[in-house]
């Protein structure tokens, strides 16, 4: 993996960890292939099999959401984010801000 890809991967992983901190739980699986996936958001805990709620997007879109450069509504409306299931609307948690 080249240095730019390594930096992108590190930023995606760090921002997903921040999401886990601001939205602790296991109700939604957030996938940012090919770099990472995490479970976050309070609610029904997912343990095995297909999660009840899934959010999936590409790394650039995820980082734009995390930074506040793209709104959740616009990302969903344009198909840049695929979100399904209860609690899959992450707009309450985005953009991500470091917990104090």
What is the domain range of residue 7? 3-84
Q: Model-level pTM?
A: 0.90
Count of structural domains within the chain: 1
Examine residue 92 and state whether it is found in any structural domain, yes or no: no
The counts of H helices and E strands in the chain are 3, 4
14 confidence band (pLDDT: 50, 70, 90): very high
Q: What is the pLDDT of residues 62-85, one digit of tens each?
A: 999 999 999 999 999 999 999 999
Domain containing residue 53: CATH number: 3.30.1050.40
Examine residue 96 and state whether it is found in any structural domain, yes or no: no
């Amino acid at each position: 993996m080249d240095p730019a890809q390594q930096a992108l991967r590190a930023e995606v992983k760090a921002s997903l960890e921040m999401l886990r901190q601001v939205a602790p739980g296991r109700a939604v699986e957030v996938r940012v292939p090919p770099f990472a996936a995490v479970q976050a958001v309070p609610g029904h805990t997912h343990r095995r099999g297909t999660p009840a709620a899934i959010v999936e997007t590409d790394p650039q879109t995820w980082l734009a959401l995390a930074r506040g450069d793209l709104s959740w509504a616009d990302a969903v409306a344009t198909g840049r984010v695929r979100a399904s299931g209860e609690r899959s609307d992450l707009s309450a948690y985005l953009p991500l801000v470091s917990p104090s």
